[in-house]
Amino acid sequence: MTEAGTDGPSIVFHGATMQLGERTLWHDVNMSIREGEFIAVLGPNASGKTTLMRVLLGLSQLTGGDVHVLGRPPRRGSPLIGYVPQRRTLDPDLPVRGRDLVTMGMEGLHWGFWPGSKADRRVIDEAIKQVEASHYADRPIGRMSGGEQQRLLLAQALVGGPRLLLLDEPLANLDLRNQEAITQLIARVARAGNLTVLLVTHDINPMLPVMDRVIYIARGDMVIGLPDEIITSETLSVLYGAPVQVIRDNQGRYLCSGTIQ
């Protein structure tokens, strides 16, 4: 077994199976994700993308097989994993600054009231600087734009110094400009720290310039490969059990038609 802190795959699945009641989300998955890879996680609604995040976070248990994350079985609250959950609408009158939200990633029990040491405050400032949010971090979080909020949620995930980033639909409800900006920002931060990234999304196109491979989950299967191997008419038709047509436009973007939801 690879010990955390040494070179080796970031995530390894051996015969992994996951069921929810009578429904199989995926079965007999064998895959390895290398340190520093940027992976897009795709699939229809309710296919198991968020459940995959929960398994890696140690919040849900596989029903068969095993998985190792950074050389160990998943465990709750690992400081080596930074997590950005699906973003929810925040009350515009919420009396919490962006900086307070980031601080929660370091010391959640004292959110909004804990001044921390000078060293801790420097770490928080550096995380905010990494996501290019220094000029608005002291504004109320509820009055920020979606893109601004997403940057500070990313800073919250980074403040503990993780080696793995799990991001659940960070591009949802953002316009195309902000989708591209957030994707590029995540990629820059990940490259600078050699972080492994799994990013759940419904649209692969904003990620094409930065991603390495794709995980696709559908109808009880999970597959991994290069985009041109996975996002094809043949592969998606097999995954969905129905005809799916995939074309690429003159800008290289994928366009799919069929049963994909």
Is 257 inside any structural domain? no
pLDDT band at residue 250 under the 50/70/90 scheme: confident
- The total number of residues shown for the chain amounts to 261
Residue 103 binned pLDDT confidence (cut-offs 50, 70, 90): confident
**What is the pLDDT, as a whole number, of residue 94?**
80
pLDDT of residue 241: 86
Residue 115 has a pLDDT of 55
Q: What is the pLDDT of residue 3?
A: 37
Q: How many domains does the chain have?
A: 1
CATH number for the domain spanning 201: value is 3.40.50.300
pLDDT tens digit sequence for 118-143: 888 899 999 999 999 999 999 999 89
**pTM metric for this prediction:** 0.89
pLDDT tier for residue 96 given thresholds of 50, 70 and 90: confident
Q: Residue 189 domain-assigned?
A: yes
Mean pLDDT of 138-159: 93
239 in a domain, yes or no? no
**pLDDT at 90 exceeding the cut of 60:** yes
**What's the pLDDT score for residue 87?**
76
Residue 244 pLDDT exceeds 50: yes
C-beta separation of 169 from 118 below 8 A: no
Q: Which pLDDT does position 4 carry in this prediction? A: 39
Structural domain of 209? 37-58+79-231
Average pLDDT, the chain: 89
72 is a domain residue? no
- Does 211 map to a domain? yes
- Contact assessment for residue 224 and residue 241, using Cβ atoms and an 8 Å cutoff: no
Residue 5 clears pLDDT 60, i.e. is over it:
no
Residue 221 lies in a domain: yes
Could you give the percent of the chain with pLDDT greater than 90? 68
pLDDT at 17 over 50: yes
φ/ψ of residue 138, rounded to 5: -95, 5
Q: Is residue 88 part of a domain?
A: yes
Residue-wise pLDDT for 212-237, tens only, equals 999 999 999 999 999 999 999 999 99
Which range (18-22, 101-105, 254-258) has the least confidence? 254-258
Quick check: is 89 in a domain?
Answer: yes
